[in-house]
Structure 1
């Protein structure tokens, strides 16, 4: 019987081992470089010592080098196995070369440095520096909190703006087949008026393939007061946004041009001329990598990709957001916790405060302010004051004022309409002729605004609820001294015409007069003018009207002489067509 020759197989095994020995590590390094390039392109870590993403990227690179070197050196061990021809081999241990120490020695040193720095620069030793990251200046509410203009109260919150924008875009069949509204809806000021703006985005990857050469033609602009939605068309299409892929993705565009900067989330803004931009704040670290702090910002033209970096003291006046709301809230909490020292924050807790869980935005003087309440850590249901922070300059004001906490006011408003099940939105603080008031909206289960509420800041059980802003102010004026004309700063105009028809209707025990003029219907209660019962068809009547169509006074002197020259607030029932999502916002 012939003997089976296994020599070729053994030779083949030795050849494989020899191939491993001759394999050059440069191919593996090429693979590693390709992998790191893809990782960098997707993750976009900054080359900055204060970025965790940078250290993760560096760790991946070092681990890759370690594996390649280990694989290359292991060929020597395989050579020893080959030389013993697979016979019994006792491996007592493999001693790694000295070069591998460079992979391990820095790790404990870096960890030790991080722990030491974390302790030395902690609030235990420098609590005052933590508290001084933001320093609210104490001011008087009556003299220094701007009096509110009821024509410019931004009661359209983000949720309602999203619903309005999506519904408006859905009605434009030529756009909705290719685009949809982005989720950004940034609140900004345009020519001192509050809006939320958001660009369109491609409705899926294949829609991007069809349209990316032409770019995004429009952005949405939602009026935060009236809820009016406009589709704006900039001079050129938007080519740089979060909806883009490859090099035109806004974050990738920023990273490739500024590889060494740490960026916050870029925000979409529009200047007063309607030019769309992305605003990206750059960050550094204070207290040995512990606290983020803005160092400047980069403005990118969303149409052309042109970009410019600014220092904090060079920021253009039209920019509304440099400091994020999350950063401001965090620093307010640090200020309240450590302003009287570290040990006080743990034990005595004298004067220790914190910001309430919610916040809102208030437009003032063409700037955007973050508003939130300040409460003591030992009291849960009341505020000791309010803070306004300019999101462009971080200028901060503290208004000491004993008041109900915002969520208590929300619950009180919900309790006033508990049979409806409406839910309150986070309130705004307004100044009604030197009296602080919360104003908020009440929504049904579908997210539609049904009612508006005023809650007394200092007595949150006093609540006024009405289906329109005009009715709300009128209801409040019945109990409080309030000159509606003085708190409406819009230009007023007079409207004069003949009464075409008039009817008296009793509602809830009150006589209301409905009359038609120029094809439009108005209503006024009898208490406004004692001569209303004598008004007849064909008589002249005069109204004082603001630019939004809200009527503030009625003058019957042309029909009944000077004795009938009395002004009182009336409300319009059908002056304008109002979006049902924000019923009767004037």
Structure 2
């Protein structure tokens, strides 16, 4: 039996796998060889075999006639058009979706066709004769899609912040003004403050939806729940959607009959029926009336950002579709320059410049885009090198508790503003201030208020009710007696709001808890007064007056602050005089008469101000007496 060498076994394996192996070992194709396939010349060294690999796909394509190529081209075009209609990417050189679509459906097929034709003509196959000219032409053509892809990569590199000059551009995408908190943020109106978060709104909306059996069986509430200002109140709105494909087929002619509306202040939820003007364009539509497809095909060259569902002041439903523009390189520096308004009932659209957007529109700029833009300015304001190495003055928005972005919404001047804290680059447990950005105009304000982060405040609030295991919502920023304050709801495991908390941002150990907003407010302002913080207008606190003779006075230091505790002869109440705000108390002793204003609280009653015998403020009387004495001295 003939023994097979290792090289013979390798060649046989290559033949079995479809590789055409030319087994001649000589360098000259015309050199004679013996029957064993070895060269017969002068004992020259053996050359390795010439291996020719055939590509069946390339060979078949090379053998196609003109008719087959035309049919293939038509099929590819039809598939491309169908893919474009289904995926509807914008036709815009600045869109990454466009580049991905072109790469998958155009550049890759062209490269494969040109490369396979070049390969077949270069070496020749059983069906195609070798043709160096055609091989070279197709090889050159295969470089074209590669060159286009390389241009996209270059554009992406030119969009990076490390590219010269880009860091300054990123820092200036969003312009932020520094303002004073007490002057710019009005004191909170508790009848307008949103006391629940999105998750609670979803629970309330779904509960209300369950009370309408004919809707539950056919529709479900969309998870959007956009927060807007509606008729002066903060609300969340979300359209209904078809429950499944079969329910869409059954109800598509009649449309979607209602949307959910949840008042964030009163916690009232309702399903608003639209009567003869139902929603026909929505995200639950799978085909032509899908809102994303409808708007994109109507404006094929626009790049749309996150769409939101809103209602105007008459309760009519609209889709708000922000239009992106790129300001840095090919893909960088995203911002909004236009907004397309789409009537959810008729599908009619309005294309508006950002400055022409009507007042009732609240969400022209997506919240996460605004936070990203502010982070660019906080990171790159002193250049790219500083953002990576020195990081002097580098700040960023505070993260959420679950690793996502941490932000909330504030109603201000009939607009919705995105609120988030601002912390250092190391993301420690303190903030250097906070930022508000208008979602309609991108107007941005920074307020320098050092204090605790939202996550720290949430933990502090939860610590007050740790025995109940309530969880805190992400805080709202409010102004209480010119004190920047976190306000949050405390929810049980079922997601129901059980209590409310207020925490002073500067001194986050000042935590007030209440079963109602009014009770929480009263407890918080009493806490401020106890710690020597003036609470301003006392009428809203239910401030009382007391007077009598001091029967006991004692001094104590609480959390580093001095307090005088006083009892009067006609009661058992203990009154708390906090220093340095009420420094006049040091001039009183047991047996002295005293009059003052205080707030009822437990276990002590914080005093607001000390009154003189005629009912005026003792501090004001003392200043007036001092001024009179100084004037008399000058006259003498």
Which of 348, 357, 365 is residue 315 of structure 1 equivalent to?
357
**Which residue pairs with 1:472 in the alignment?**
520
1:573 counterpart residue number: none
Deviations 1:84-124 (A, max 9, x none): 9xxxxxx9999724144233245247526743773586355
TM-score by length of 1: 0.75
Shift of the alpha carbon at 1:293? 1.3
Partner of 2:164 in structure 1?
125
2: CA distance, partners of 1:236 / 1:407: 44
Instruction: Tell me: CA distance 1:64–1:408, structure 2 relative to 1, closer, same or farther (3 Å).
Output: same
Structure-2 change in CA distance of 1:219 and 1:22 (3 Å): closer
Say if 1:109 and 1:231 are closer, same or farther in 2 by CA, change over 3 A: closer
Alignment partner of 1:81 out of 91, 102, 126 = 126
| Alignment map for 1:264-275 (pairs within 5 Å) | 264-275=305-316
Does 2:304 correspond to 1:263? yes
For residues 275 and 17 of structure 1, the distance between their equivalents in structure 2, rounded to whole angstroms, comes to 57
CA distance in 2, matches of 1:98, 1:421: 74
1:240 alignment partner, SS class: coil
Within the alignment, does 1:383 sit opposite 2:431 as a pair? yes
Alignment check: 8 A CA contact 1:433 1:487 kept: no
2:380 paired with 1:338: yes
Going from structure 1 to structure 2, the CA distance change for 1:487 and 1:137 (only over 3 Å counts) comes to farther
Give the alignment of 1:150-229 within 5 angstroms. 150-229=190-269
User: SS of the residue aligned with 1:246?
Assistant: coil
| Offset from partner CA, 1:349-374 (integer Å, 9 cap, x none) | 22111111111000112100000111
What is aligned with 2:187?
Answer: 147
Select the structure of larger CA radius of gyration: 2
**Residue 285 (structure 1) aligned with residue 326 (structure 2):** yes
Does the CA-based 8 Å contact 1:123-1:130 persist in structure 2? Answer: no
Question: Is 1:246 equivalent to 2:287 in the alignment?
Answer: yes
1:436 paired residue number = 484
Tell me which residue corresponds to 1:98. 137
Distance 1:415 1:18 in 2: 75
SS state at 1:351 partner = coil
- TM-superposed deviation, 1:475: 1.8
Match of 2:620 in 1: none
Q: Aligned partners of 2:228, 2:217: CA distance in 1, in Å?
A: 28
Distance 1:76 1:280, change over 3 A: same
1:121-175 per-residue CA deviation (whole Å, 9 max, x = no partner) reads 6355322221111121111111111211111111221100111111110121121
8 A contact 2:408–2:475 mirrored in 1 = yes
Partner secondary structure for residue 45 of structure 1: coil
Alpha-carbon spacing, 1:96–1:142, altered in 2? closer, same or farther (3 Å): same
The runs of 5 or more residues in structure 1 that have no matched partner are: 1-15, 85-90, 489-529, 531-565, 571-586
Instruction: Classify the secondary structure of the residue corresponding to 1:134.
Output: coil
Residues 379-412 of structure 1, C-alpha deviation per residue, up to 9 Å, x if partnerless? Answer: 6011111111101001111111111111111110
**Take 2:242 and 2:600, find their aligned partners in 1: how far apart are those partners?**
48
Counterparts in 2 of 1:25 and 1:70: CA distance versus 1, 3 Å: farther
Is the contact made by 1:192 and 1:367 (CA closer than 8 Å) also made in structure 2? Answer: no
Q: TM-score under structure 2 normalisation?
A: 0.69
Would you say the 8 A contact 1:25–1:72 is kept in 2? Answer: no
State the partner residue of 1:53: 97
> In the alignment, which residue of structure 2 is the partner of 1:64?
109
Q: Mind listing any 5+ residue stretches in structure 2 that lack a counterpart?
A: 1-59, 400-405, 530-534, 543-569, 571-596, 602-636
Offset of 1:62 from its aligned partner?
A: 3.1
2:111–2:146 Cα contact (<8 Å) kept: no
Structure 2 CA distance, aligned partners of 1:416 and 1:112?
58
How many residues align? The count is 473
* Residues in 1 aligned to 2:152 and 2:206: alpha-carbon distance in whole angstroms: 51
Higher relative contact order (CA 8 A, sep 6+): 1
SS in 2 for 1:330: helix
Cα distance between partner residues in 1 of 2:540 and 2:354: 37
